[in-house]
Amino acid sequence: MSGGEMILRAVLALLAVYHLSMGLVSIFFQRGAAGLARGLYGIEMGDSGQRFSYALRMLGLYALAFGFLLARAAMDPAGHRSVIAAAILLQSVRAASRLASAGTLRAAFGVAPARNGLNAAALVAQAGLLAWFFP
């Protein structure tokens, strides 16, 4: 296994752990999800209500499914190129969305511009590493 493949597998594994963890927390421990959102993204959720709670659970299910696919890709990157391509696209669009929605994130969730930029940069770095080592 080359050094590039080891890095690719590590990035995929970290993304898998992140998505699986966030999915489980979003589904089963919503107060914990609010704490993670605050710690990881600087987002203040407040009392979001039942509609938001339901939507968070549904997003958690998507995170679990994607985390599972990322874990499979970490075990066999060449056999899961489409999953890696989807991850590159997702992380890139998430970064663009954070930047395009900076005003909304600040007004609705209290996300400071510097924090938003840092989070967007992390997403770009993840997408970049996946693209650079794409099998």
- Residue 55 vs residue 27, higher pLDDT: 27
Torsion on CA atoms 91, 62, 105, 102, rounded to nearest 10: 20
Statement: residue 103 has pLDDT above 80: yes
pTM over 0.85: yes
Please tell me the predicted confidence (pLDDT) of residue 55: 84
Read off the DSSP letter of residue 101.
Answer: T
Of 40-44, 109-113, 131-135, minimum mean pLDDT range: 40-44
pLDDT of residue 69: 98
Reference 88, options 23, 37, 4, 12; nearest CA is 12
Averaged pLDDT, 37-57: 79
- The answer to whether 5 and 77 have CB atoms below 8 angstroms apart is yes
Asked if the model's pLDDT at residue 47 lies above 70, the reply is no
Pair of tokens at residue 119: 């989070």
